[in-house]
Amino acid sequence: AAVHARSRRCCSVRMCERQPVAVKDEADEFAALGLPMEPCVDLSADDVILALNRGLRFNDVPNKDSGLERCYNFANSMCRAAIGGDGGKSGSHVVSLEQFVKYANNPTFGSMLNNQGFERERISIIPGTPTRGALATQVVRVTTDSGDV
């Protein structure tokens, strides 16, 4: 409950890095403490992408698997099921946080957890329409904890 009360506070991540960061340092880790834990209307698409990537980089800040919890909170049910579901065998797209965390150590998320750094390319935003919101895409190049890109 304390996590959710704290997470309702929306902050800007504009103060966070805009350039690639190759070395984890105390200032970078400290910035991870202020990342939003759930969606907020004040966050831009760029803010969300940065928060999710920085959160995975410092996955255990401030608590174990906080980065994965942040991803879970920002993901829709289909995305949650793709990461932590049973492949649709049950016909349900309902996935708990515990299931999501358990199965998130797949090759995609596993390479992003506790990584050495990441570089973001320019964000591309397709404006919203009357039937859906805007769509944002950004390529992120991650250097894994073992140094692979």
The string of pLDDT tens digits covering residues 3-36 is 333 334 454 444 344 444 445 677 878 888 899 9
The model carries a pTM of 0.77
Among 58, 14, 9, smallest CA distance to 33 is for 58
**Residue 1 pLDDT > 50:** no
Output the pLDDT for position 147. Answer: 86
The string of pLDDT tens digits covering residues 106-122 is 887 788 999 999 999 99
Q: How far apart are the first and last CA of the chain?
A: 37
Please state, as a whole number, how many other Cβ atoms lie within 10 Å of the Cβ of residue 109: 19
